[in-house]
Amino acid sequence: MEFIKVTEQYQPAIALIQLNRPKELNALNPQLMGEVRDALQQLDKNDEVKVIIITGNDQAFAAGADIKQMADKSAIDMQIMDQFSTWDQIRKTKKPIIAAVSGFALGGGCEFVMTCDMVIASETAKFGQPEIKIGTIPGAGGTQRLTKAVGKAKAMELILTGRFLSAQEAHFYGLVNKVVPVEMYMHKAVELAKEIAQMSPVAVQLAKEAINRSFETQLDEGLMFERKNFYLTFASEDQKEGMKAFIEKRKPVFKGK
C-alpha cells in the first residue's frame, strides 16, 4: 500500500484507513482509490472488524480527484478508464464506515465523505464541490448525494458556485453527525465506532442496508425492504439474545450469528 495506511490500533473490532498523500492534500488518484477498494474488501471479510473509520490528516481529508492526473484526458479516455467504478466499493461495504474529517473535503473528497455512513468533523473541516471552478461537474455522486443531504436550493448554490460549507454549516444541513475541536475528531470517531461495535453485527449490517435502500428506492419499496430485513433479524441468535437480555435486565452478549 503506497497511498493509504491500514491499522487496527484502537480496538481489535475497529479498523482505520488513513489516506496518505499529504503533499497533494490526499488528492484521490486511481491507485489510491484502488488501495481503498482492496482494503475495504479485505476488512469487510475480516470477522474481527466491526466498524471501519476512514480519515485523512488534520489539513485534508481529500482535496478531490487528482486534477493533474485527469487534466489531459479525453472523454473517451475517461470512459474507458472508468475510474469511479472503483469507488463503488465504498457503498458496497457491508460494515459501517465512519469518516473522520478535518480540513478540506472537496470535490471527490466531499463525495467520498458523503458515501460513508456517518461523519465526525473537526471545526476546521470544509466541504464543497468546486468542480465548476475547473470546468467540470461532480462525477462521483455529488449531484445526487449533496442534493439529498442539503436540499435542492442549497445543492444548486454549492455546486454552481463551488462555494465551501464550514463544518458548522455542514452540521446544520445534516451532512455531518458532530463537529468537535480538531484535537478531538479521531477520538469522537473511535468513541462512536466502539459504541456500534458492541451491537449485533448482523443487526448493524441489516439496518445499514435498509437505511441505504431509502436513498435508492421509492418509499414504498424502501419500507418493504426495511420490514423484510427487520423480520430477518429474527433468524439470528443475536436477536434472541438481545431481547432476552433486555427482559432479564442484563447486558447482551452478541456472537454475530
The residues that are catalytic are 65, 108, 111, 131
Q: 125 near 171, Cβ under 8 Å?
A: no
Number of residues counted as binding ligand CAA (CB under 6 A): 21
Neighbour count for residue 184 (Cβ, 10 Å): 15
Sheet containing strand 60-62, strands side by side: 60-62, 104-106, 126-128, 164-166
Select the span of 130-138, 153-161, 166-174, 221-229 touching ligand CAA (CB under 6 A): 130-138
Q: How far is CA 51 from the centre of its chain?
A: 11
Select the span of 22-30, 36-44, 72-80, 182-190 touching ligand CAA (CB under 6 A): 22-30
- Any contact of residue 82 with ligand CAA (CB under 6 A)? no
Output the CA–CA distances (angstroms, integers) from residue 83 to 80, 93, 236, in the order listed: 8, 18, 38
- Any contact of residue 252 with ligand CAA (CB under 6 A)? no
Q: What angle do CA 20, 22, 28 make, to 5 degrees?
A: 65
- Any contact of residue 209 with ligand CAA (CB under 6 A)? no
Residue 111 or 117 with smaller CB distance to ligand CAA: 111
Task: Please report how close the Cβ of residue 196 comes to ligand CAA at its closest, in angstroms.
Answer: 28
- Any contact of residue 56 with ligand CAA (CB under 6 A)? no
C-alpha cell read off for 249:
435486565
C-alpha cell read off for 146:
449533496
- Residues forming contacts to ligand CAA in the complex (CB under 6 A) are 24-25, 27, 63-68, 104, 106-108, 111, 130-131, 134, 138-140, 142
